[in-house]
Amino acid sequence: MIVRPGWDKDEWVGNSVPTFGGRWSNNLSKGFPLADHEVGGPALFIPAGTLGPSAIAGAIFNYQHKDGDADDPHYGFRWTGLLGKHDDIDYSFMYYHGQGGFQQDPILILNPNTFGLEFIFPETDTVGATISSYIPWLDITYRAEVAYTPNRKFSSGATAPLPLQIVEKDAYNLLLGFDANPRLQKWLKTSSQSLFTVQVFDWFLPGVSENDAIGNFVGSGNYDEHNVVATAILTLPYMHDTLIGTIVGIADLTQGGGWLIPSLEYQWGPHWRIKAEADLPLGGNSISNPTAPDGSIVGAFENNSQFLLRTTFQF
């Protein structure tokens, strides 16, 4: 069991990754903070009269919204056990009340009283279950997960008379994954066995279509009924496992496009780690404005390839 009384800092709730104005900001907010308390606050300006009688000086994080108050307690529990003749199947059940069920990202709403743009983290109740086991004749481990969040609050651009109002939809997170340790030493001259893992995610919203204009984060298009993403990861160890090459592939099977992320990490002695990584978005539907219905997560990073070089000292 876990309990968060609500005494900590408000900004510790939800996703604090600086996607607005940071490394992972999409093309529409690159170089300035659309709304991120960590990098300087609001910077999206709406002309006076566009959405209401007064000018709006950007979007703020509202941590005390009635549908998402960060001071409210969070709580939940998880039960684990074993099944099967030889207790070789792991399972678990969970429940959690908090902020961030279905996704950790905030939603953008238009306050009908002040006509101001606000980011909120809706309070949710989520139940879920997992199962995993080893399949000897395939030499793989499988994992399956399902989480259900009833009446999950979203922001819709299709509401009237004002857009960006809250709507409620049932939401499911589905996952199916496989892990294997292929021995590629003979063909690729690696120093030990590799790790190969494949995962398929589905953010499932029954009965929802893109016409409902439920935004998939800011500037990344709208949710469809099924929102499927597949990932594959292969590690290649060399030099007695001190040099690790990794190839990551991500494919958006709903809206198209994907990422190719090759990296190389060198372990220099017991403390130093040096890593080089390239993040290469491929395809997807590009976007021209934050509410473009046909935009996609990959398309939001069009012409936005990145190269990372990081040095870490471990104590």
Q: Is 186 exposed, middle or buried (0-12, 13-18, 19+ CB in 10 A)?
A: exposed
The residue written with tokens 């879920």 in the block is: 128
Is residue 268 predicted with pLDDT exceeding 80? yes
pLDDT of residue 220: 65
Average pLDDT taken over every residue of the chain? 85
Return the ∠ at Cα 50 (arms to 27 and 296), rounded to 5°.
Answer: 25
CATH 1.10.3120 fits 2-313, yes or no: no
Do 285 and 299 form a contact (C-beta atoms < 8 A)? yes
Report how far residue 52's alpha carbon sits from residue 141's, in angstroms, rounded to the nearest whole number: 55
Q: What is the pLDDT of residues 164-195, one digit of tens each?
A: 899 999 999 999 999 999 999 999 999 999 99
Helices (H) and strands (E) in the chain, counts: 1, 19
pLDDT at 36 over 50: no
Residue 95 has pLDDT above 90, yes or no: yes
Q: Residue ranges of the domains in the chain? A: 2-313
What is the model's pLDDT at position 87?
87
| pLDDT for position 203 | 95
Give the mean model confidence (pLDDT) for residues 104-126: 88
Non-local (6+) Cβ contacts of 281 within 8 A are 257, 258, 259, 298, 301, 302, 304, 305
Is 256 within 8 Å of 220 (Cβ atoms)? no
The pLDDT of residue 290 is 53
Which of the pair, 58 or 304, is modelled with greater confidence? Answer: 304
Q: How many CB atoms lie within 10 A of CB 102?
A: 22
Q: Which of 59-68, 115-124, 125-134 has the highest mean pLDDT?
A: 125-134
Q: 60: which 2 tokens?
A: 């703020």
Mean pLDDT computed over 33-48: 44
Q: How confident is the model at residue 42 (pLDDT cuts 50, 70, 90)?
A: very low
* Percent of the residues in the chain that have a pLDDT greater than 90, as a whole number: 57
pLDDT at 241 over 90: yes
At 21 the pLDDT is: 56
The CA distance from 259 to 282, in Å, is: 6
Give the pLDDT confidence score for residue 291 in this predicted structure: 53
Per-residue pLDDT band for 114 (boundaries 50, 70, 90) equals: confident
Q: Which of 232-236, 253-257, 283-287, 293-297 has the lowest mean pLDDT?
A: 293-297
Condensed to tens digits (0 to 9), the pLDDT of residues 51-84 reads 443 333 457 788 899 999 999 999 999 999 999 8
3-state secondary structure of 146: strand
- Which comes out higher in pLDDT, residue 205 or 255? 205
Q: Which two tokens stand for residue 110?
A: 């238009």
Confidence of residue 47 (pLDDT cuts 50, 70, 90): very low
Q: Which helix (H) or strand (E) holds 7?
A: none
In this predicted structure, what is the pLDDT of residue 33? Answer: 53
pLDDT band at 116 (very low <50, low <70, confident <90, very high): confident
